[in-house]
Amino acid sequence: MPKAALFALLAFAAAPAFAAPVDPAPVVAAERAFAADGLALGVRDAFLKHSAPDAIVFQPDVQKVHETFPKQDPDKGGPPLVWWPLWAGIARSGDLGFTTGPYSYDGQLRGYYFTVWKKQADGRWKWVYDGGPPSDASSAAPQGSQPAYLPVSTTKGKHPESALADVRKAEAALAAAARVEVAAAYKAVLISGARVAGSRAAPGDTPDAQATELATRTRTIDFAALGGEVSLAGDLAWTYGDAAWVRDGQARQGHYVRVWQLGPKGWGLAYDMILASPLKA
């Protein structure tokens, strides 16, 4: 057998193979179970029960949930925190996904949460990131509504290690462009229907809404990647990192969270959120 044919055969045999596109419904079910336990167990215990061992939150800096939450007092009997998914996505390999939707506290709509989910070795879904800024959720569909889904990627991805390297290159390119012009940087990578969040407005998911959301950001932002993961299919990734900018002469800091999806033209942004840290006294 010619060497070229042998190498092609070996490459094909080593490449991960997956079934037809999967349904994001299991990720939605995991989110709903998490929300139900938030009412039954209290926020602290529900967050611990449904989070992966390495799950993180921003408080305001990056914190590992299983190191910080056990130190908090149980919150049973307090005002209810209620949330429900209205948009979700999943990797073709069925191991990585996300959900987002409105949340209310003590009966008052407060904003939109965002959760990244990862299937564990035992087959259960656990979240690896959860958070969201205060924003206008007054027009959100009511609890129990059928979520919309990000179409599953049909583009064949590389092995996870190579795919993650490509995502890091996409992150670096976006960071470089954002140091020049934020709106243009994002416009070049946002995919159709992508959500952009961070201001007091509802997450933008149309070109006009995306442009409006991006206009709330400063002209330039410095991004520094901290971490992230890619699906086994090499078609979906989530990333997070530091963000720094200057507004009205004052230095501000925060973090970003993103979901990247592989398409025919390469990696594009399906979700982007910036969480501003509180101003220091």
pLDDT band at 187 (very low <50, low <70, confident <90, very high): very high
Peptide bond into 60 cis (omega under 30): yes
Q: Spell out the residues 6+ positions from residue 238 whose beta carbon is closer than 8 angstroms to its own.
A: 96, 98, 116, 128, 129, 228, 229, 257, 258, 259, 260
105 token code pair: 């506290």
In a domain, 47, yes or no: yes
In a domain, 6, yes or no: no
Question: Where does a domain end: 149, 176, 204?
Answer: 149
pLDDT value of residue 10: 36
In a domain, 210, yes or no: yes
What are the backbone angles phi and psi of residue 248, rounded to the nearest 5°?
55, 40
Q: Which of 277, 212, 272, 274 is nearest to 250 (CA)?
A: 277
- Residue-wise pLDDT for 75-125, tens only, equals 767 899 999 999 999 999 999 999 999 999 999 999 999 999 999 999 999
Same domain, 239 and 144: no
In a domain, 268, yes or no: yes
Question: Where does a domain end: 96, 116, 149?
Answer: 149
Same domain, 136 and 37: yes
Give the Cα separation of 68 and 216 in Å (integer).
32
CB 157 within 8 A of CB 232: no
In a domain, 19, yes or no: no
Give the Cα separation of 242 and 256 in Å (integer).
6
Same domain, 134 and 167: no
143 token code pair: 């609890």
Same domain, 141 and 40: yes
In a domain, 184, yes or no: yes
β-bridge pairing 125-131 and 51-58 = parallel
Same domain, 180 and 134: no
Same domain, 106 and 210: no
Same domain, 187 and 264: yes
pLDDT value of residue 77: 72
Q: Which of 130, 136, 105, 137 is nearest to 30 (CA)?
A: 130
CB 173 within 8 A of CB 185: no
Give the Cα separation of 230 and 213 in Å (integer).
26
In a domain, 258, yes or no: yes
- Residue-wise pLDDT for 129-163, tens only, equals 999 999 999 999 999 999 999 999 999 999 999 99
Same domain, 108 and 208: no
What CATH number should be reported for the domain holding residue 186?
Answer: 3.10.450.50
β-bridge pairing 87-90 and 96-105 = antiparallel
Which residue has tokens 């390469």? 266
Same domain, 270 and 167: yes
Same domain, 139 and 40: yes
Same domain, 54 and 107: yes
Say yes or no to pLDDT of 48 above 60.
yes
- The alpha carbon dihedral of 276, 59, 52, 43 has a sign of negative
In a domain, 64, yes or no: yes
Q: Please tell me the total count of domains within the chain.
A: 2
pLDDT band at 171 (very low <50, low <70, confident <90, very high): very high
What residues make up the domain containing 270?
160-276
Same domain, 175 and 77: no
Question: Where does a domain end: 129, 149, 169?
Answer: 149
pLDDT value of residue 75: 73
